[in-house]
Amino acid sequence: MTPTQAPETVSIEVQQQAEAISKFDALQHDIAIAAEQSLTKQFDYESKQGNRQARSWVAELRKIKASIERARKAAKDVHLQRGKAVDAAAKELEKDVLALIEPHDKEIKAIEAREEARVAAHRAVLDRITQLTEGVTTSAEAQERYLELSAIDVENLEEFSKAGANRQAEAAEKLKELWDELRIREAEQAELEALRAEKAAQQEAERIERIRQEVAAEAEQRAEEAERRAQEAEQRAMELEARAVAPQAVAAPQEEPEQIEALLLRDNLVKVIAEAMAGKTRSQIASAIVDGTLHPAICIDWAKA
């Protein structure tokens, strides 16, 4: 009897079980009788009366079989009800025991959780020590990683302190090697970049000097041409002056006033430029042309230089 069952319930269950057993005993007795009767049963299955008698006997046997099935279900119902009652009683008992277990289990699991968190924290530090040596690309980064590594107190890792110390030493050695290697590589790269910049600056200076020389040469060539034109203008002016003083044997062709004015302006400009170039070397004339100080009428189109 379980603690949750009343005495009356137990009595009913015992009575039901007894009835089920008695039914099986009665059926067993009926089957024994039928077996004895079967020994004397002889039927003429071909005749109507014999076939009817055989069918009647089979019907009697089928009644016994049906009684067995009803007894089986009745007996099984008793056990099913008993099983349900046992399950319900077991659940109540488990509930009572769990209520006793829970306070202690709660404390034990809390301790286990704290222990798991403690171990996880120490392992995270060990993992971080390993990660500090990974993915380092510059000497500055290697130095920062080394400083972070040095700040880790492996003594706080408790039972993992020895493993932490070993891993920290290995990581420190690797970071030092990376630091030296990257500093050398960066210095070589900086030197290479400086050489490239110097070469580029030199090439630019050479290009500018080449342009200056080309401009000076062109200016010098223009100065020689201007000097030639100035001489021609001076010669022409002298000829015009001579024509104005001396009588002409043959009448000179008459020129339009605009043409005469343009020629006079041109001749005057040639004279002025010639006077500006007087006493100067070709190089000085070229520099004056480049600087725009020879004469306001002479300037260089730098877009075409």
Q: 20 and 99 in one domain?
A: yes
Q: 100 and 156 in one domain?
A: no
pLDDT score of 252: 47
Q: 179 and 131 in one domain?
A: yes
Domain final residue pick, 108, 135, 155: 108
Q: 103 and 24 in one domain?
A: yes
Is residue 119 in a domain?
Answer: no
Is residue 153 in a domain?
Answer: yes
pLDDT score of 214: 86
Domain that holds residue 139: 125-198
pLDDT score of 21: 65
Q: 100 and 12 in one domain?
A: yes
pLDDT score of 84: 83
pLDDT per residue as tens, the chain (305 positions): 444 444 455 455 556 656 666 777 888 888 888 888 888 888 888 888 989 888 988 888 888 888 888 888 877 877 788 778 878 887 887 888 888 888 888 888 999 999 999 999 999 999 999 999 999 999 999 999 999 999 999 999 999 999 999 999 999 999 999 999 999 999 999 999 999 999 999 999 989 888 888 888 888 888 788 778 878 877 887 877 777 665 544 444 555 566 666 666 677 777 777 777 777 777 777 777 777 777 777 777 666 66
Q: 189 and 236 in one domain?
A: no
CA nearest to 167, candidates 189, 152, 177, 185: 152
Q: 129 and 91 in one domain?
A: no
Q: 215 and 185 in one domain?
A: no
271 Cβ contact partners less than 8 Å away, ≥ 6 residues apart: 230, 233, 234, 237
Is residue 251 in a domain?
Answer: no
* CA–CA separation, 157 and 89 (whole Å): 51
Question: How much is the CA Rg of the chain, to the nearest whole Å?
Answer: 64
Is residue 176 in a domain?
Answer: yes
Is residue 228 in a domain?
Answer: yes
Class of residue 275 by CB neighbours under 10 A (exposed 0-12, middle 13-18, buried 19+): exposed
Is residue 204 in a domain?
Answer: no
Q: Count how many domains the chain has.
A: 3
Is residue 164 in a domain?
Answer: yes
Q: 75 and 53 in one domain?
A: yes
Is residue 101 in a domain?
Answer: yes
Q: 298 and 217 in one domain?
A: yes
